[in-house]
Chains A and B, each alone.
Chain A
Amino acid sequence: MKAIFKYLAFLLAVLSLGCITGCKDLLTVKNEEKLSGDEFWTQGNEADVESFTLSMYAFFRSATMTASPFITSTGDFRCAPVMPFTPNNNSYFSLLASNNLNTLISRNENGESNVTDWKNFYKVVQSANILLENIGNVPGLSEQKKQEFRFEAVFMRNLSFFMMARVFGDIPYYTNAQNQSSLPRSNMVVVLNNCLNDLKSILDADPNAQNIPWLQPGQKSGIRPNRGAALLLMMHINMWLVRFDATKANTYYQNTVDLGNLLVNNNGGAYYLLDIERSSDIFRGGSAESLFEIAQNINAGETFNSASNFSNQFTYKYKSISDYPPAYFPIDFLGRLFSPEETDKRKELWFDEDIYKVDGTRKELTKFLYPDVSGGKYTSNAGNQIVFRYADGILLYAEALSELGTDESKALELLNLVRNRAGAAPKASLGTDLKDDIYWERVRELIGEGQYYFDLVRTGKIHDPNYCYHTISRANFNAGAWTWPIHPNAFLNNTKMTDNMYWK
């Protein structure tokens, strides 16, 4: 008996000691509903990083297409010749067109009070910063793969900063992961130059387009950013800075030209303009013309906010012929874009037969029409939202060239590249005419793609009634009338936050 207990005691002792020494692996906290950052990164794998990377795009989608009609409100309808359709008479359009933002936000007819809520953009920024900080710790990930993910993070944060800067002007800027301090708004010019440097350094680290290829192998073009998207983003930033850092305008034009040269002439055939007859392929997304777009997968239940979808505002027949579209472009404007005398296939392909009908009668802009039904709700465009498109890049390149005036023939060539594709007659203008032709070509080609207002702002045409239907005076512009007001939430817990004084 004694012996048995002796053995028992020893057994117990050995067991407990063995357990204590051999159980370092046991010392874990685990929960299958949520993963800790520890498990996710330092014990993680490529699939984890991939799914986290996708969350950046998801937040970007929330910021632009789900939480509010961000792109259409800020880019398409502001100061634009857009008219609400009777009988709905949605004042959303008229208030945006007349730049009456305070009233617009207080009425909040289409969820536009959330347009100024930048939190989702900053979620993209934070996610990108977190990815950049932790990617190095993920075991079993090749250096090339890491660099690919890093590029995506850098692209997404700078895209977010750029989108915000165009809307708010000065914005809080940080690139550290888990930033928790309350920041003041940084000067927009400084912010955007930082963005340029950030993008430049990640592209320069890969001169042979190894890690940041022109096309993602095995991916549809544009769903994830490629090299072209980064170049076009940088071109856009440069062109935007021309207006706000005017003393260095030529540097920015030259940068744009250099970047445009890379984009158009060095892409190794990755990007090209599709036949205009394939318009629906272009705007559904994933084509060779697409550089970056926001995904909308109806089958997986991802549907943009109805008000965010530009197409929903200008189409109606997909629902029922008795319906009305919420808004229309007046004949005056459409006639100016597409002269009834000139041939342009975009007229027929992007508009319905009623394009020149009298204002107030029903007509459609069918450019993005790709109807589907999701969860009992109709949507006129079940495709992706284009953010950057090759044609946009070509025209921006042409614009920078024409502004520099060094190689107008090249600019003309680029302009006619876009016109030829549309079956329109080539232009042969020079000087100011060329600049005008390029501007109007951009309006024509990029209608409904969130560029209209920003083109007006950066070119200064917003002050000129010859170009702009709802002008902003220079005095008001300088006081900040081109910006949006800052959302009240931004002032919570942040004493350093300042408003855009024009809107106070």
Chain B
Amino acid sequence: MKQAKSNYKPKYFEMKRILHYILSLFFVFCIGLQAMAQDITVKGVVLNKDTKDSLNGVNISIVRDASGKAVNIAGTATGNKGAFSIKVPVGTTLRASSVGFESHTFKVDASNSFKTILLTERKNELEETVVVGITKKTVADNTASVVLIDAKDLVATPAASVMDLLQGRVAGMNIQLNNGTPGMQGTYTIRGISDIGVSGKGGDVYLNSSNPLFVVDGIPQQDVGEFNPQGLLDGSGISPISMVPVEDIENIQVLKDAQATAQYGSRGAYGVIIITTKKGNSPTPKIEYTGRAKVSTPPRLRDVMVGMNERNSRIYQLLNNDTSIYHGYWDIHKNAILSDSLNPYYNNNTDWQNVFFRTTSNQDHNVRFSGGDKSFNYKVNGNYYQEKGIIKNTGFDRYGITMLMEYQPFEKFRIMAQAGSTLGNSNKGSGNALGQSGVAGGANASSLLPPPSLYTTTNDVLGALGIDNRSTSLGYNANIQTTYNLPYNINWYNTFAYNYTTEDQEIKTPGNLILNRQRSGSSLQSYGSNYSQIYIKSFASYNRDVSILNLGLTVGAELDMRRSTSNNITLAGLPNGVWGPIGQDASISSGGTEVSTRNNTMAIILAPSFSVKDLKNSIKGGADRYIFNPSIRPELNSAYGSKLKITINPSFGFKWNFYAEPFLKDLDFLNYGAIRTTWGRVVKYRASIYDVWGAYLPNITGNTYNGQAYTPVDFGAMPKPDLKPVASTTWNLGLDLAMFDRVINFTGDAYYRQVDNQLSDIDLADHNGFNTVRTTDVSLVNYGLEMSLGVTPFKQSKDFSMTTNFVLSINKDVLTKLPNDVRQIISNDNTVVNRLGGNALSHFLYVNRGVYANDSDVPVDPATGKRLRVGGDNTDQAYFKAGDPIFVDLNGDYIIDEKDQAIVGNSQPRMTGGINMNLRYKALTVNINTSFTLRRDIINQSLAQRFGYFNDPTASNGGYNGVLVPIDVYNFWTPDNREGAVYPNPFDYTRVNIVKPYRANQTLFMEDGSYFKINGISMAYSLGRRVLRFLGNIERANITASANNIYTFSHYSGINPENVTGLGYDQSSGYPNSRTYSIGLNVTF
């Protein structure tokens, strides 16, 4: 032990001395010595280490010249039987690399001219490259927090959007598939919410977008959220990411910390997701076909009462709870739906959910034609994806073709050209992108109404199926990217991309659904928009080794020009069944055009970098020991019009590859170990030009003064010239470990992110004329831990392998500042509250303490001698009595009103993660993916609603909201069940609209929304060589099978704790997630 210690000391000093050198070198410019070189011919063979098969087509490239300087020169490739031969100077470092294998790097010395190179199949992720900002880095060199997902694990499972498949796979990315609408997206947040804004009202509240930036093949994509603060409610609502076929994706990178995202400028403030599509890589052309047949089934349906049960329940309720029994009889006789049970129109037991939900079968196909090598390769990918929704009258399908070509006409120049076109169609039925309100209403109809048949085809309830709501999204994109290696080791990159998208939505509502019957006739709504984007990026980067330092500088500029146009028209009062403009009622028709919106931004890129190299080229893995990467990205932003704003997004990253330290050389079990720390700030002008300057509204019909048109300022929102940009600052501390021959891989990150100057609206006093003003006074802090643990417990053998990946992230958010220095803001009709020091989106609820067993249990106001009552009503009905819920009177005024709501529970998940397992036995591969969400409070609004339907026993609006829940399973108050009842008396319908015992915003309906979900199990069986040969010249064939959304373990009493709004409300109108089974075939010719 002592000896070891004494060995250690001098090395430590040596390190210190090196650091000393580094510091000196910052000031003194040194020129490295060039060694004289002598050429030698290196010959050898390349073999697979495990199978000892020879490997053809392995690239042998020169990575360091004789002087030790890093270069990248293509050398040669192995030919027949894996043999190669190359003539290089002595001292050159060569690298043998091949797809799917770990590369092997070796130094040529004079003594060893014949090499047998054994390549192991890839399991070392350190050599993989990640794109951080504009530069590619190996994982070992990367300082930022980046997660790389290989799409190979994903493709066996069918999904419209690749994001659906990433659930539970990326630490720190919370994906909630909270709506099952085909073609729509769930919510994704990276490292917690970053915007406390909500839109909508009551239970229909949606979180403002905190969507990450998507970059597909180097081109930043527009996201739906960018154009529409309401999220997906308007327009066609097809997510652009749904337009990228999963089969065509090579890998996905998720950039989480600010060092990584700062490089994308302001748009990367909420994280960046980089999607890289496949490229051709085969000397002979290859055709790869993937096809699948799928079956989607609806989830468990909600329990309802049907037929006689329902009628009896209603009659019972009327006789026992009406003002008098005689009035009860009168109510029954008055309503034919109750009394005329012999009438075939009312004598039914229709389960409406069955009418609307269905099992569908679908298919998708993908064909890729590709080929080529490094100097020239090409790919054509054709895709068809179909998904009929499990709710009738909804669905999504997509047709897409993309082409990609890469050409390297000479050593230093490379050009990549890409073009594609996709067409997406979606049918949203009677709802919008997030919910199915029409169907929800229909499915809640009374079971006494007749089922669909010839003579009831135009029944109001069935109208949800009569609505035709089609959206089409048609996109074209083309881009050219070039790379030019200029003299002096300068690399010059250019990107030019053009993107054009049109979106159309047409909604036809049949006349029987038009609410205002006086205006008979159907209506036709049409929204159209088109969007074009030109994106140009040009930058040059320069790298130079100066002794032990590697200095780099990247300079360039980026221009993003967008233009969008939209229009909408509503034709109402059309003759029924007729499409088109003939015969509409002009007085109720309307239309409008937003002629053109231009939004251009330019950014200047300036990113210096330094890294400290190892003096001796002798460390494991070949990485540098100390890496320091600072960068700044100034950006010129035109969002504020003539006030051009410069934002600066600075960041730095430091990494210590400690496993490469000489003093840890003896720790053989440690294959890799590094500590990363990064800091970065992303500054983003989120406000629009109208927020800053105000909007002036010309051309408004009827705005004339003395016959002359006038232009008022828009008094909706006050101009605010000094709106600060949203600044999010992130600290990240990460630890990467690989141990025991890479059996265990661990990545952990702790982060602290502060988002300052968030936009929020404050309501103004009316003497200011304007309704609201935007401020940048909200600050939010997110902090948390993320870890990802990969275990490969069995040594990779030919027959069996297994990898398990466990991902966990814990996020906590704290509000640190609110506008006007207030302590708390209650917003959106009291559904959420923002309180300083608390989490950003707490539930704001009435506290329920059970049910009053007897009238005498209700507290009495000593001042008036009267019982507790609800606010807003002075009648006798308002006083609480037996069977009513016990709401806690927080302010002690003996009136239950909105002042008695309390902050209870957090609507956002605290912990998310997943376990993902890959098994291979011989030709069979199995992937099991699970995910979980822990510690989230959700509101079972759907249950509250269905209890609430007892408010109308006469079924006066039997068409809607008439369904009754079989409440026998619930412990509710009746005169015979007074003590210990959990749910209030639902039958007391004469008072229900006053007391509102079944209001959703009470703790009675708050439940634990934690769940553990088996997302999917997919299997692939690859056919053996013999079978392939028998079938013809087939290179590879897999048979796949998968089951998706298999089971959710949860204490939640509703259907699905995931299928809730962003604020945790489970609405009956939510589009349920289907369960999907698929069988597929994957063939490569």
Q: B710 contacts A54, CB within 8 Å?
A: yes
Q: Which of B496, B536, B593, B767: most chain A Cβ within 10 A?
A: B767
Q: A35 contacts B494, CB within 8 Å?
A: no
A 102-124 binary contact with B (CB < 8 Å = 1; else 0):
00000000000000011100110
Contact check: which of B642, B690, B704 meets A301 at CB < 8 Å?
Answer: B704
Q: B708 contacts A27, CB within 8 Å?
A: no
**Chain A residues with Cβ under 8 A from B763's Cβ?**
492-493
B556: nearest chain-A partner, CB-CB: A20
Cβ of B833 to closest chain A Cβ, rounded Å: 17
List 9 tightest A-B contacts by C-beta distance, closest first.
Answer: A37-B693, A38-B641, A27-B638, A54-B710, A295-B706, A494-B765, A55-B712, A32-B595, A126-B769
Given A20-B536, A20-B538, A127-B712, check contact A36 B690 (CB 8 Å). Answer: yes
| A301→B706 CA distance, assembly (Å) | 10
B 782-805 binary contact with A (CB < 8 Å = 1; else 0):
000000000000000000000000
Cβ of A128 to closest chain B Cβ, rounded Å: 10
Q: A180 contacts B713, CB within 8 Å?
A: no
Q: B773 contacts A180, CB within 8 Å?
A: yes
Of the A-B pairs whose beta carbons lie under 8 Å apart in the complex, a sample of 13, sorted by A's number, is A16-B536, A16-B537, A28-B638, A52-B711, A55-B703, A55-B711, A180-B762, A183-B765, A297-B706, A302-B704, A490-B766, A493-B762, A497-B765
Cβ of B657 to closest chain A Cβ, rounded Å: 36
- Does any Cβ of A come within 8 Å of B658's Cβ? no
- Does any Cβ of A come within 8 Å of B105's Cβ? no
**Chain A residues with Cβ under 8 A from B410's Cβ?**
2, 5
**Chain A residues with Cβ under 8 A from B602's Cβ?**
20, 23, 27
- Known: A5-B407, A55-B711, A297-B707; 9 extra A-B contacts, CB below 8 A, are A5-B409, A5-B410, A20-B536, A28-B598, A37-B695, A119-B766, A180-B773, A301-B702, A494-B765
**Chain A residues with Cβ under 8 A from B707's Cβ?**
297, 299-300, 302
Contact check: which of A13, A34, A38 meets B714 at CB < 8 Å?
Answer: A34
What is the number of residues of chain B that contact chain A, defined by CB distance less than 8 Å?
Answer: 76
**Chain A residues with Cβ under 8 A from B484's Cβ?**
9, 13
Cβ of B749 to closest chain A Cβ, rounded Å: 36
**Chain A residues with Cβ under 8 A from B597's Cβ?**
29-31
B 758-788 binary contact with A (CB < 8 Å = 1; else 0):
0000111111111001000000000000000
- Does any Cβ of A come within 8 Å of B688's Cβ? yes
- Does any Cβ of A come within 8 Å of B665's Cβ? no
| A117→B213 CA distance, assembly (Å) | 46
| A55→B702 CA distance, assembly (Å) | 12
Q: A26 contacts B641, CB within 8 Å?
A: no
Contact check: which of B593, B693, B713, B768 meets A38 at CB < 8 Å?
Answer: B693
Chain A residues 346-373 with CB under 8 Å of chain B are: none
Which segment of A57-65, A305-313, A393-401 sits at the interface? A57-65
Q: A297 contacts B559, CB within 8 Å?
A: no
Q: B712 contacts A118, CB within 8 Å?
A: no
Q: A35 contacts B695, CB within 8 Å?
A: yes
Cβ of B619 to closest chain A Cβ, rounded Å: 38
- Does any Cβ of A come within 8 Å of B358's Cβ? no
Contact check: which of A26, A55, A223 meets B600 at CB < 8 Å?
Answer: A26
B 105-118 binary contact with A (CB < 8 Å = 1; else 0):
00000000000000
**Chain B residues with Cβ under 8 A from A29's Cβ?**
597-600, 638-639, 641, 688-689
Q: B713 contacts A52, CB within 8 Å?
A: yes
Q: Is the interface of A mostly helix, strand, loop or mixed?
A: helix
Q: B712 contacts A182, CB within 8 Å?
A: no
Q: A27 contacts B601, CB within 8 Å?
A: yes
**In the complex, which range does the number of interface residues on chain A fall in?**
35 or more
Cβ of B831 to closest chain A Cβ, rounded Å: 19
- Does any Cβ of A come within 8 Å of B718's Cβ? yes
- Does any Cβ of B come within 8 Å of A428's Cβ? no
Given A302-B705, A494-B767, check contact A43 B642 (CB 8 Å). Answer: yes
- Does any Cβ of A come within 8 Å of B413's Cβ? yes
Q: B413 contacts A6, CB within 8 Å?
A: yes
- Does any Cβ of B come within 8 Å of A250's Cβ? no
Q: A126 contacts B600, CB within 8 Å?
A: no
**Chain B residues with Cβ under 8 A from A130's Cβ?**
694, 713, 719
- Does any Cβ of A come within 8 Å of B492's Cβ? yes
| A478→B301 CA distance, assembly (Å) | 70
Chain B residues 620-676 with CB under 8 Å of chain A are: 636, 638-644
Cβ of A68 to closest chain B Cβ, rounded Å: 14
| A405→B596 CA distance, assembly (Å) | 68
| A295→B559 CA distance, assembly (Å) | 50
**Chain B residues with Cβ under 8 A from A322's Cβ?**
none
Q: B696 contacts A40, CB within 8 Å?
A: yes
- Does any Cβ of B come within 8 Å of A17's Cβ? yes
Q: B559 contacts A20, CB within 8 Å?
A: yes
Cβ of A484 to closest chain B Cβ, rounded Å: 15
Q: A179 contacts B697, CB within 8 Å?
A: no
**Chain A residues with Cβ under 8 A from B601's Cβ?**
27
Q: A123 contacts B715, CB within 8 Å?
A: yes
- Does any Cβ of A come within 8 Å of B137's Cβ? no
- Does any Cβ of A come within 8 Å of B698's Cβ? yes
Cβ of B445 to closest chain A Cβ, rounded Å: 40
Q: B482 contacts A27, CB within 8 Å?
A: no
- Does any Cβ of A come within 8 Å of B720's Cβ? yes
- Does any Cβ of A come within 8 Å of B480's Cβ? yes
Q: A172 contacts B599, CB within 8 Å?
A: no
A 289-300 binary contact with B (CB < 8 Å = 1; else 0):
000000101011
Chain A residues 193-226 with CB under 8 Å of chain B are: 223
Q: B413 contacts A59, CB within 8 Å?
A: no
- Does any Cβ of A come within 8 Å of B6's Cβ? no
- Does any Cβ of B come within 8 Å of A178's Cβ? yes
- Does any Cβ of B come within 8 Å of A323's Cβ? no
**Chain A residues with Cβ under 8 A from B876's Cβ?**
none
- Does any Cβ of A come within 8 Å of B875's Cβ? no
Q: A35 contacts B767, CB within 8 Å?
A: no
- Does any Cβ of B come within 8 Å of A259's Cβ? no
**Chain A residues with Cβ under 8 A from B711's Cβ?**
35, 40, 48, 51-52, 54-55
Chain A residues 290-344 with CB under 8 Å of chain B are: 295, 297, 299-302
| A300→B718 CA distance, assembly (Å) | 29
**Chain A residues with Cβ under 8 A from B644's Cβ?**
27
Contact check: which of B415, B592, B770 meets A9 at CB < 8 Å?
Answer: B415
Q: A490 contacts B561, CB within 8 Å?
A: no
B 488-500 binary contact with A (CB < 8 Å = 1; else 0):
0000101010000
Q: A30 contacts B770, CB within 8 Å?
A: no
Q: A2 contacts B409, CB within 8 Å?
A: yes
B559: nearest chain-A partner, CB-CB: A20
Given A5-B409, A34-B697, A126-B769, check contact A20 B594 (CB 8 Å). Answer: no
Contact check: which of A12, A52, A55, A123 meets B496 at CB < 8 Å?
Answer: A12
Q: Which of B409, B644, B768: most chain A Cβ within 10 A?
A: B768
- Does any Cβ of B come within 8 Å of A33's Cβ? yes
**Chain A residues with Cβ under 8 A from B698's Cβ?**
34-35, 51
Cβ of A194 to closest chain B Cβ, rounded Å: 16
| A8→B410 CA distance, assembly (Å) | 13
**Chain B residues with Cβ under 8 A from A178's Cβ?**
718-721, 770, 773
**Chain A residues with Cβ under 8 A from B409's Cβ?**
1-2, 5
Cβ of A173 to closest chain B Cβ, rounded Å: 9
| A58→B715 CA distance, assembly (Å) | 13
Q: Which of B706, B719, B762: most chain A Cβ within 10 A?
A: B706
Q: B766 contacts A118, CB within 8 Å?
A: yes
- Does any Cβ of B come within 8 Å of A125's Cβ? yes
B 1013-1050 binary contact with A (CB < 8 Å = 1; else 0):
00000000000000000000000000000000000000
- Does any Cβ of A come within 8 Å of B557's Cβ? yes
| A406→B349 CA distance, assembly (Å) | 97
Q: Which of A20, A61, A125, A492: most chain B Cβ within 10 A?
A: A20
- Does any Cβ of A come within 8 Å of B24's Cβ? no
- Does any Cβ of B come within 8 Å of A455's Cβ? no
**Chain B residues with Cβ under 8 A from A30's Cβ?**
596-598
- Does any Cβ of A come within 8 Å of B699's Cβ? yes
**Chain A residues with Cβ under 8 A from B642's Cβ?**
38, 42-43
**Chain A residues with Cβ under 8 A from B415's Cβ?**
5, 8-9
